[in-house]
Amino acid sequence: MDKRKLVAKNKYESVHEELLEVGTKLLSSERLTEISLNSISEYTNISKTTIYEHFNSSFNVFLSEVILHVWKKIRKIYYGKTNEDPISNILLIFRTWHEFNFENLLLARNIYASYILFVDTEYFPITNVLTDIEAELSKLNFNAEDTKEIIRIFYISVDEILGNPDVRNIDNVMEDIQLFLNNKKS
């Protein structure tokens, strides 16, 4: 690759990463309805033109990419800690995800509000956390019904975080998941 193209590519990726970080900070501090592509420029020295170019002039593209960026952050927390035991990996993924969202409540609420906006659209981002849980469940040879039950528990815990953040019952959720996994594994 030509050196100039490499420099340009690296610059583009650096700016894009900065914009995703700014987006994460915005979703962590502002209500979703108060954020726009224009508002990003207030938090960075990047021009509005460049911001619009990075996201094809689409707030939905921006939001979808920021959500994926956040999921990658969550994934980085647990990914190096997994081992050969699928059950402990599932519990680790759930706990990491749950704690991250509990500690970043406004971010979590904005992300889930975004999912409502994106339902049945091309912008709907796939949650890496669920993909990783499903991969671990496949190692246990879980059938579709059992996998669906774990995903249901995942979404119930989302509702608990968003609906009642004063109650932190992660240990109860972990016990329920472990009991379910151990019963199905036996």
Task: For the chain, report the end-to-end CA distance as a whole number of angstroms.
Answer: 54
Burial class (CB in 10 A: 0-12, 13-18, 19+), 133: buried
Q: CA geometry: angle at 57 spanning 55 and 62, to 5°? A: 35
pLDDT tens-place string over residues 156-173? 777 677 777 666 677 777
Where do the domains of the chain lie? 3-185
Q: d(Cα 138, Cα 124) in Å, to the nearest integer?
A: 24
pLDDT (tens digit per residue) in 114-160: 888 888 888 777 778 888 999 999 999 888 898 888 888 877 777 67
Q: What is the fold of 3-185?
A: Tetracycline Repressor; domain 2 (1.10.357)
Rounded to two decimals, the pTM is: 0.85
